[in-house]
Amino acid sequence: MRRWTTRQVARLAGVSPATVSRVLNQQGGVSPELARRVWEAVRQLEEGKYAEGGQTTCRVAVAIPRRIEAYDPEPVGGSFYGQVLLGVEEVLRSEGHYLSLFTYDPGAGPEWLNGLQDRCDALILMGADTPDELAREAAGKGLPVVVVDRHVRGVDSVISDNVGGAEEVTAHVLAAGYRTVVYICETFQDPSFAARREGFDRAVQAAGRPVAVRYAEVGRGWLDAPGAMEELLATAELPMAVVAGNDLTALQILAIA
């Protein structure tokens, strides 16, 4: 399997992608000097010496908490984190870099970080339950660190608009005329779920009419969502709209709908 793209070769050789294509496909119409530059760029990329722009190829480690692996045993492609992984891998591959994936226990301490800088050039910590101390310690080891799905002060972070997204979803169901709405998630202690509850509450307050509101936590095991939902159905006023804190909780609720 080749380790480069036409665009990478073009950038490194200083020519257009079309020129690279003509050289690789032996279509002619390219000067010997340009052809030499193209083949030299291919050689360098094949040896793994350069990424785009002549930069050294990087090894990027992506660390996922074992809790995520437990509810998504095939993380690449399935859930939210699977889609994030696919995006990360696509960008790294296009730039000529490499991804390694491993899991860790957020409650086990930062010992697993020891020697990490010898195995990778950058680290992506994925998961809303990534400890702040872990992210800061990793950054303190001199590694470029990015945290996904959690904001950690002093460390580069990428997070969704949890408040705005939940507010928009809740406003949508309220606009449909529902007078009883439920917000259900794993735990309100999780920063992402807490932010989504804030967005939920904002939409309810902005509704301009009386709305019966219920909240439910199902714990870290999202598989308990159907049981919690059955309890709500037995006691809440119907018809009722449900705003789920994440996709997996929503799918479990739909299973009993």
pTM metric for this prediction: 0.64
Q: CATH code at 189?
A: 3.40.50.2300
- Strands 156-158, 212-217: pairing kind: unpaired
| Residue 1 pLDDT | 45
Asked whether 74 and 82 are in contact (CB, 8 A), the reply is yes
Per-residue pLDDT, averaged over 228-242, amounts to: 77
Q: What is the pLDDT of residues 130-169, one digit of tens each?
A: 888 889 988 887 778 999 988 888 899 998 899 999 999 9
| Number of domains, the chain | 3
Per-residue pLDDT, averaged over 216-236, amounts to: 72
Single-letter code of the amino acid located at 251: L
Specify whether 150 is located in the same domain as 177: no
Q: Which of 20-24, 71-75, 168-172, 212-216 has the lowest mean pLDDT?
A: 71-75
- For the cut 70, the answer to whether the pLDDT of residue 220 exceeds it is no
| Residue 255 pLDDT | 76
H/E stretch holding 183: strand 180-185
| Residue 121 pLDDT | 79
Upstream peptide bond of 239 is cis (omega within 30 degrees of 0): yes
CA distance 187 to 184: 9
CA distance 236 to 242: 11
Can you give the residue range of the structural domain that contains 17?
A: 6-50
Per-residue pLDDT, averaged over 179-202, amounts to: 92
Specify whether 247 is located in the same domain as 170: yes
Specify whether 187 is located in the same domain as 200: yes
| Residue 242 pLDDT | 92
Specify whether 92 is located in the same domain as 139: yes
Judge whether 1 lies within some domain. no
> Rounded to 5 degrees, what angle do the CA atoms 237, 241, 246 make?
135
Asked whether 53 and 115 are in contact (CB, 8 A), the reply is no
